[in-house]
Amino acid sequence: MSKILSDLDYTNLLSWFSYFWVRGRKSRKLPAGSQISEPTSQMDVFTTVVTLANQKVPQDRVIDGKNIWPLLTGQETVSPHEFLFHYCGTWIHAARYRPRQGNSTWKVHFTTPNWTPGTMGCFDTLVCYCYDGYVTHHDPPLLYDIAQDPTEDNLIEISSDKKYQDIVRSIKSGVDAHRRSVSPAPNQFAPLKLMFVPWLQQCCNLPYCSCQEETRGARS
């Protein structure tokens, strides 16, 4: 793992992508021209990187990310995530459901932000808030098949087919199970957590922290 970390340029986030993409392509592990439409998450990066480094993820806590390397290499064709939950603050506003069979990925919205009329954003408030007064709750929730409708333009009428009612019921059960599994944790966005902490910042040339060009020149 240390070898991988030492090879990466922390000033360039793309280096994280290029490291594994280039090495995967050179070792012929990633099929050329492959496209993957399965739902994944940024959380999967950690678990996948740890697995590629022949290490184990921490066992003293729940790690939500999954190893998606088998999906990338074509060994698996279905996302390891059956459910993915979309949080706004501490509230679950939406959820995705990938059944183990078929090609559909279902998404429901329990709550949506109140966009500025005629737009697709919260321009009146600059940001979309997560709580009552700034959101609309939906019962029944809004349902989409994002495998066929990734832009979520075609709302599915849940009452039109028992299949859709069963899908929503499965998603609600998944959300309930997820909520029961989550333990309260400190708010990582609390004001004290957001304060600039100099001793936690990377700095290669104290007190200036401005050696980026020198680093690039040494590597070129």
Q: Block means of pLDDT (10 residues each) for the chain, length 220 residues? A: 45 49 57 85 93 92 92 92 94 97 96 94 93 95 97 96 98 97 85 81 71 51
The span from the CA of 30 to the CA of 21, in Å, is 8
**Cα gap 209→26, rounded to integer Å:** 35
142 and 73 housed in the same domain = no
Domain end point (choices 60, 80, 100): 80
Hey, which bits of the chain come out as E strands?
Answer: 83-88, 91-97, 106-113, 135-145
For residues 64 and 88, state if they share a domain: no
Q: Which of 62, 80, 98 is the last residue of a domain?
A: 80
**Residues 39 and 100 occupy one common structural domain:** no
In a domain, 195, yes or no: no
197, part of any domain: no
What is the distance between the alpha carbons of residues 216 and 88, in angstroms, rounded to a whole number? 38
**Are residues 159 and 71 both part of a single domain?**
no
The domain tally of the chain equals 2
| Last residue within a domain, chosen from 80, 108, 138 | 80
Beta bridge partners of 144: 107
Quick one: residue 67, left, alpha or beta (phi over 0 = left, psi -120 to 50 = alpha)?
beta
CA 21 – CA 27 distance, rounded (Å): 10
pLDDT number for residue 214: 52
**Nearest in space to 37 (alpha carbons), one of 82, 104, 109, 108:** 104
76 contacts 70 by C-beta, under 8 angstroms: yes
| pLDDT given at position 101 | 94
Look up the pTM and report it: 0.75
Query: How many helices (DSSP H) and strands (DSSP E) are in the chain?
Result: 7, 4
Is 91 a member of any domain?
Answer: yes
Regarding whether 141 and 67 lie in a shared domain, the answer is: no
All residues at 6 or more sequence positions from 36 whose CB lies less than 8 Å from its CB, including other chains: 71, 72
**Which two three-digit tokens encode residue 100?**
């183990």
Domain residue limits at 110:
82-184
Query: Is there a domain that residue 141 lies in?
Result: yes
Do 128 and 180 lie in one domain? The reply is yes
pLDDT in tens, 75-127: 999 999 999 999 998 899 999 999 999 999 999 999 999 999 999 999 999 99
Report the alpha-carbon distance of residue 85 to residue 91 in Å, rounded: 10
For 81, the 3-state DSSP assignment is: coil
**Do the domain assignments include residue 177?**
yes
